[in-house]
A and B are shown apart, each in its own frame.
Chain A
Amino acid sequence: MSGGFHLNMSHDLAERIGQHGAEAFPHECCGALLGRDSAFEEGASGADSRREVLELFPLINRRDDSPRNRFAVTAEDVMEAEKAARQHGLDVVGWYHSHPDHPARPSQFDREHAWPWYSYIIVSVMSGKPAEMTSWRLNDDRQDYTPERIEIRNRAAV
């Protein structure tokens, strides 16, 4: 039986995603999730994938024509995020964005533009306040998402 996808992160990082969403409200915010995935470690098998977010890389939403219900990250931004990840000895393991006054559920538009493997965190920001936060992974067939459980640690590991 599969345990499904799990994404670990600290309480602090989860709060910072919510804060970014609140600051950008009523526009969408976006940024990169920097971290580690056990699949790329030596001798890893695909069955026990563990993923942890260890740093954020907040970005400017490039969709200035429709920033309330769209976000865009250019290839140049992606390369910048990857560079920042490498400097920390990490990988870009996913992306976050906010849904202002909308639930934290992926839209059809999200799915058409999604990549597999990445974790997509969505934070709902209702009337300017961060609300539900969810994470999703695109299925291999590109037809749907699988929810990913976010496991929040109250304190950073020392």
Chain B
Amino acid sequence: MAVKVIIPTPLRVYAAKKDSAEVSAQTVGEALGGLTTQFAELRKHLFTDDGKLRSFVNVYLNDEDIRYMAKEATPVKDGDVVSIVPSIAGGSAASNYEIVQG
């Protein structure tokens, strides 16, 4: 199945500045695998060392979050669009340290 993968702005520098790529895949996981085969430098920004999608990497099939479908095993069909969308987090402290003052 030929699907289009949308590459988020911060990762375009690792994908020849392209905003999307065409890949051949049966599932969302295969589509992401195809993308990181084309652009190997993307891999460490999308996946952890043990091969899991990073928690702040969100993947949508057309307009649906794959977490509410079959995740990376979600099947794709010709013409589908897989979008990689960042979420952003941070904060001042290395761990929670809330001090409740009476």
Give the B-binding residues of A (Cβ under 8 A).
Answer: 28, 30, 39-40, 46, 63, 66, 68-75, 77-79, 82, 91-93, 95, 97, 99-100, 102, 106-110, 113-118, 120, 140, 142
Q: A113 touching B45 by the CB < 8 A rule?
A: no
Q: B92 touching A118 by the CB < 8 A rule?
A: no
Q: B45 touching A109 by the CB < 8 A rule?
A: no
- Other than the given A30-B88, A109-B95, 19 more pairs (CB < 8 A) read A66-B96, A68-B98, A69-B93, A75-B85, A78-B87, A78-B88, A93-B9, A107-B90, A107-B93, A109-B89, A110-B90, A110-B91, A113-B56, A115-B10, A115-B56, A116-B14, A117-B13, A142-B44, A142-B45
User: B residues within 8 A CB of A73?
Assistant: 87-89
Kindly provide the distance from the CB of A60 to the nearest chain B CB, expressed in whole angstroms.
13
In the complex with contacts A28-B91, A69-B92, A75-B11 CB distance below 8 A: no
Kindly provide the distance from the CB of B32 to the nearest chain A CB, expressed in whole angstroms.
16
User: B residues within 8 A CB of A92?
Assistant: 9
In the complex, the chain A residue whose C-beta lies closest to that of B14 is A116
Q: A66 touching B88 by the CB < 8 A rule?
A: no
Give the A-binding residues of B (Cβ under 8 A).
Answer: 8-14, 17, 41, 44-45, 56, 58, 60, 65, 85-98
User: A residues within 8 A CB of B11?
Assistant: 115-117
In the complex, the chain B residue whose C-beta lies closest to that of A98 is B92
A interface majority secondary structure: mixed
The A-B contact count (CB < 8 A) is 104
Q: Measured between alpha carbons, how far is A108 from B97 in the docked complex, in Å?
A: 14
What are 26 A-B residue pairs whose CB atoms fall within 8 Å in the complex? A28-B92, A30-B88, A66-B91, A66-B96, A66-B98, A69-B93, A70-B89, A70-B90, A70-B91, A72-B87, A82-B9, A93-B9, A102-B92, A107-B92, A107-B94, A108-B94, A109-B93, A109-B94, A113-B90, A115-B86, A115-B88, A116-B13, A116-B14, A117-B13, A140-B41, A142-B45
